[in-house]
């Protein structure tokens, strides 16, 4: 059993039920600019990457000159769906339970700093996290920089760290950083994609993630 002292969460599709909103925003911006509209599976595959990296993959026809207009339309579509955004059931309780066991919590996300701060303020989760990293502050996933920087800031060794995410980008980042990964299937990527990154486990709900973590912390205590 491993004694994790730091659990790092992805945001979109892991803590917040925002996958459908991101996909719809990408597709809506494509329609507005009369670009080929990616399928839902193609649009969801890029979730977790930096926005620049995501657009290169999901909308290869997008030229550099079109990027400012595309981003404006993307953000408009995303904000129109803002009232629909919710944390997955059980997220606050899970974070409280983990914190109650003395585990430090952090976020590593493909969102921008402005976007993450807005989400943290809206959900009230900001005080629960010891540190956070966003894609516009450092290298995008699956580069290990976010995790390396969080480990350095919080003075935690790799063997004490777990990365929790809904995409292969999250889990490959964990592999690249030399830390354990835990996949969740209720977000953007498929079970097969997640298992391809050799995580410790792949789970289907927030309550299962909570129990999986608490069992290991208590067993190692």
Q: What average pLDDT does the segment 89-111 reach?
A: 95
When pLDDT is averaged across residues 182-186 and rounded to a whole number, the result is: 96
* Residue 75 confidence (pLDDT): 86
Lowest mean pLDDT among 42-51, 120-129, 131-140: 42-51
Does residue 135 sit in helix, strand or coil? coil
What does pLDDT average to over the chain? 91
Structure tokens at 175: 């592999």
Kindly give the residue spans of alpha helices, DSSP state H, lying in the chain.
19-32, 40-45, 51-58, 67-80, 91-100, 113-123, 145-154, 168-177, 191-195, 206-220
Q: Is-contact 110 51, C-beta < 8 A?
A: yes
Q: Please compute the mean of the pLDDT values over residues 81-93 and round it to a whole number.
A: 87
Which residues are marked as active site? 10, 12
Largest CA distance in the chain: 57
| Count of all residues that appear for the chain in the document | 221
pLDDT higher at 89 or 19: 89
State the pLDDT confidence band at 187, using cuts at 50, 70 and 90: confident
Judged against a pLDDT cut of 70, whether residue 144 lies above it is answered with yes
pLDDT band at 62 (very low <50, low <70, confident <90, very high): confident
pLDDT at 116 over 70: yes
pTM: 0.85
């Amino acid at each position: 059993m491993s004694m994790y002292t730091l659990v790092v969460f992805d945001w979109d599709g892991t803590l917040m039920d925002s996958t459908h909103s991101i996909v719809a925003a990408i597709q809506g911006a494509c329609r507005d600019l009369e670009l080929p509209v990616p399928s839902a599976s193609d649009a969801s595959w890029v979730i977790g990457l930096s926005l620049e990296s995501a657009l290169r993959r999901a909308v290869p026809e997008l030229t550099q000159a079109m990027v400012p207009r595309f981003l404006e339309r993307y953000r408009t579509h995303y904000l129109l769906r803002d009232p629909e955004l919710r944390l997955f059931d059980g997220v606050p309780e899970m974070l409280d339970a983990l914190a109650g066991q003395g585990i430090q919590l952090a976020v590593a996300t493909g969102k921008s700093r402005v976007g993450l701060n807005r989400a943290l303020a809206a959900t009230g989760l900001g005080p629960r996290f010891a540190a956070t990293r966003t894609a516009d502050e450092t290298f995008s996933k699956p580069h290990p920089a976010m995790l390396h920087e969080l480990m350095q800031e919080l003075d935690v060794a790799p063997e004490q760290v777990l990365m929790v995410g809904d995409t292969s980008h999250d889990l490959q980042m964990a592999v690249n950083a030399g830390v354990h990964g835990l996949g969740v299937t209720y977000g953007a990527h498929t079970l097969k994609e997640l298992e391809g990154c050799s995580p410790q486990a792949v789970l289907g709900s927030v309550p299962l993630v909570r129990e999986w973590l608490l069992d290991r912390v208590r067993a190692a205590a």
